[in-house]
Structure 1
Amino acid sequence: MLIKRIHGWEIPESRVTDEHVFLNRRHFMGAAAGALALAAAGSARAEADPSAGLYPAPPNPAYADAGRPVTEAQYTTTFNNYYEFGSSKRIAAAADKLPIRPWEIVIDGEVEKPARWAIDDLLKAVTLEERIYRHRCVEAWSMVVPWTGFPVKRLVELAKPTSNARYIRFETFNRPDVAPGQKDGLFTSYPWPYVEGITMAEALNELPLLVTGAYGKPLPNSMGAPLRLHLPWKYGFKSIKGLVRVSFTADRPVSFWETLGPTEYGFWANVNPEVPHPRWSQESEQVLGSGERVPTLLYNGYGEQVAGLYAGLEAEKLFM
């Protein structure tokens, strides 16, 4: 008897990417990127990037298909929340003014090996790979991106945390000289620098990725260059960009959005269609670039890999 095991991420066959599209995805993505102005400034910056020769990185076959077609780069590189550069989604031009070399990442806190890594030295100490992951914003739009990076647990191995480390606190840059959101108007009262946190158990899961590239190239500034976090089962406000510090702590970090809106943005931020944001539903999402409205999946479709991390936390509010 044939017994088929049903996985939480499976979708109807009618919505599966055609085989010829998947097998030739690099060709299609390259054609799309070439036709657009991911082009102009972004492309020129990638050519000057000292890490450009590391891309495209080998794809990890375990994450070669996210169950939906890859979103074209013209949408993902020009439509993004990045409040350091303003409240509009169209922050790409402003973000390109952020210098990403030289760039250092400090590793500190409850670790045996505190360090200050120049980004290019860190890239030499890890092995980059491509993973195609979904991304789901709490605002109810979504996309699929071929990210390049290395697992968060590899950074954990380099840092050698002590037994006191229960959480990891991530911190972004604070550059009001080049980041208008940190300098002018409404956002000057925000708790800069931007901070996020995850548990050590989450960090040691296979899914979390420290991202350095996308679409077979170094990461555009608008997407968080030179180093950002991607947690595909969480809402996008758990995807900190422009990382400069990674701290291992005994105490749970209070995130940027949790500080600003504690009744709206919780620590866990797991995608859950049954738990609405206080001002709108999370039951469905709009796919960026296609306009298609689709049902939201629990844990963004990654429940098989991560649901076990949250056993016993069912009573937690705010996106559990």
Structure 2
Amino acid sequence: MLIRRFRPGDSADIRPSEITSESVYLNRRKLLQAALATGVTGIGAAWTHDAAAVTDLKAQRNAKYSLSDPPNSYEDITTYNNFYEFGLDKGAPAANSGRFKPAPWTVTVKGEAENTGTFAFEDLIKPHPIEERVYRLRCVEAWSMVIPWDGVPLAAALKQFKPTSKAKYVAFKTVYRPDEMPGQRGRSLQWPYVEGLRIDEAMHPLSFLAIGLYGRTLPNQNGAPLRLVTPWKYGFKGIKSIVEINFTQKQPPTTWNISAPHEYGFYANVNPKVDHPRWSQARERKIGSGLFGSRVPTLMFNGYEQEVASLYRGMDLKKYY
């Protein structure tokens, strides 16, 4: 399998992550833990939770499915997020997710499958070795990151439920906890968040269930404890904090398509030839690339065209966007 190499894009301004290496950042986290232990005040709830809850994972890099590009820093990835359940600003998830409890966790499996029911998170993941894959995340807002995800292939996780021949799609649902997720108290979107894939997309080798990043369990702001990663699609397909998997015969509703169907389609494949109604998708910037970075052309299917184009052979991608 060929995984393409990408050039860095640009950033609109200089953020702390652009001048802070990961090693320095992790040392900062150790200092924060020490400060918490000695009762120093003034540290936000998100940092308190991060220091307490993020633990190490034992994951082996899967080079076959990994970019060779250097990943964004841990700080980039954990402080610049879209997770509207915790707020609309990019920094809101890190600031507002400290009260969220990702354990214990269960996932309900239903629909067109032989093995359905409610499963503990540990039982869902345990049968499969944890691996690391370095994928490129491209958001519909025309920015991107390179992220070292830790998790299991989605196909491996789904096959244990033995979907039947009637299962044409896989639907996912995010947990609904407005007491812990302040964004769900508002009406920015219809809650809980829902997403879906065609069954062949879900079973594709690139589709991934992430339970961590940088060798550590997912922080709350990144979708703890379980999120979907489909690197050839825009980031909003990457549903977070999954509590339900449903094998369906019909195409399931998806949150952004419900909210703005003229702007967000079911497929959400990265396509530089199909613009968002309010901005171009032809170019992008990479978060963390520094003041002198330049915007670069967006690649079809986010650079994974060779691997996934056959899934959409014969489809009008301007109609099925």
Common topology (TM > 0.5):
yes
- Structure 1 residue 121, shift from structure 2 partner: 2.4
Equivalent pair of 1:8/1:303 in contact (CA under 8 Å) = no
- Structure 1 residue 96, shift from structure 2 partner: 2.3
The yes-or-no answer on 1:9 pairing with 2:4 is yes
**Stretches (4+) displaced over 6 A:** 41-44
- Structure 1 residue 312, shift from structure 2 partner: 1.2
Give the 3 Å change call, closer, same or farther, for CA 36–142 of structure 1 in structure 2: farther
Counterpart of 1:18 in structure 2 is none
Give the 3 Å change call, closer, same or farther, for CA 253–103 of structure 1 in structure 2: same
Counterpart of 1:74 in structure 2 is 75
Counterpart of 1:131 in structure 2 is 133
- Structure 1 residue 42, shift from structure 2 partner: 6.6
Q: 242-251 vs 87-96, which deviates more?
A: 87-96
- Aligned counterparts of 1:124 and 1:43: Cα–Cα separation in 2: 28
How is 1:143-292 mapped onto 2 (pairs within 5 angstroms)?
143-184=145-186, 186-187=187-188, 190-291=189-290, 292=293
Equivalent pair of 1:29/1:215 in contact (CA under 8 Å) = no
Give the 3 Å change call, closer, same or farther, for CA 318–161 of structure 1 in structure 2: closer
2:26 to 34, 42, 49: 34
Counterpart of 1:89 in structure 2 is 90
Amino acid at match of 2:4: W
- Structure 1 residue 103, shift from structure 2 partner: 1.0
- Structure 1 residue 125, shift from structure 2 partner: 2.2
Equivalent pair of 1:238/1:269 in contact (CA under 8 Å) = yes
- Aligned counterparts of 2:254 and 2:244: Cα–Cα separation in 1: 14
Equivalent pair of 2:234/2:269 in contact (CA under 8 Å) = yes
- Structure 1 residue 36, shift from structure 2 partner: 4.3
Equivalent pair of 1:46/1:218 in contact (CA under 8 Å) = no
How is 1:39-50 mapped onto 2 (pairs within 5 angstroms)?
45=49, 49=53
Any gaps of 5 or more consecutive residues in structure 1?
16-27
Amino acid at match of 2:103: R
Q: CA RMSD in A?
A: 2.4
- Structure 1 residue 249, shift from structure 2 partner: 0.2
Equivalent pair of 2:272/2:299 in contact (CA under 8 Å) = yes
- Aligned counterparts of 2:107 and 2:3: Cα–Cα separation in 1: 36
Counterpart of 1:309 in structure 2 is 311
Amino acid at match of 2:172: F
Q: Deviations over 1:247-272 (max 9, x none)?
A: 00001011000000000000110001
Give the 3 Å change call, closer, same or farther, for CA 244–108 of structure 1 in structure 2: same
How is 1:113-124 mapped onto 2 (pairs within 5 angstroms)?
113-124=115-126
- Aligned counterparts of 1:98 and 1:308: Cα–Cα separation in 2: 40
- Structure 1 residue 318, shift from structure 2 partner: 5.7
**What SS does the aligned partner of 2:60 have?**
coil
Give the 3 Å change call, closer, same or farther, for CA 154–263 of structure 1 in structure 2: same
**What SS does the aligned partner of 2:160 have?**
helix
Give the 3 Å change call, closer, same or farther, for CA 32–115 of structure 1 in structure 2: farther
Give the 3 Å change call, closer, same or farther, for CA 202–193 of structure 1 in structure 2: same
- Structure 1 residue 124, shift from structure 2 partner: 1.7
Amino acid at match of 2:248: T
Counterpart of 2:297 in structure 1 is 295
- Aligned counterparts of 2:136 and 2:268: Cα–Cα separation in 1: 15
Give the 3 Å change call, closer, same or farther, for CA 315–228 of structure 1 in structure 2: closer
- Structure 1 residue 79, shift from structure 2 partner: 0.7
- Structure 1 residue 296, shift from structure 2 partner: 0.7
- Structure 1 residue 115, shift from structure 2 partner: 2.6
- Aligned counterparts of 2:24 and 2:229: Cα–Cα separation in 1: 23
- Aligned counterparts of 1:315 and 1:232: Cα–Cα separation in 2: 17
Amino acid at match of 2:166: N
- Structure 1 residue 148, shift from structure 2 partner: 0.2
**What SS does the aligned partner of 1:306 have?**
helix
- Aligned counterparts of 1:101 and 1:43: Cα–Cα separation in 2: 18
Any gaps of 5 or more consecutive residues in structure 2?
9-19, 34-44
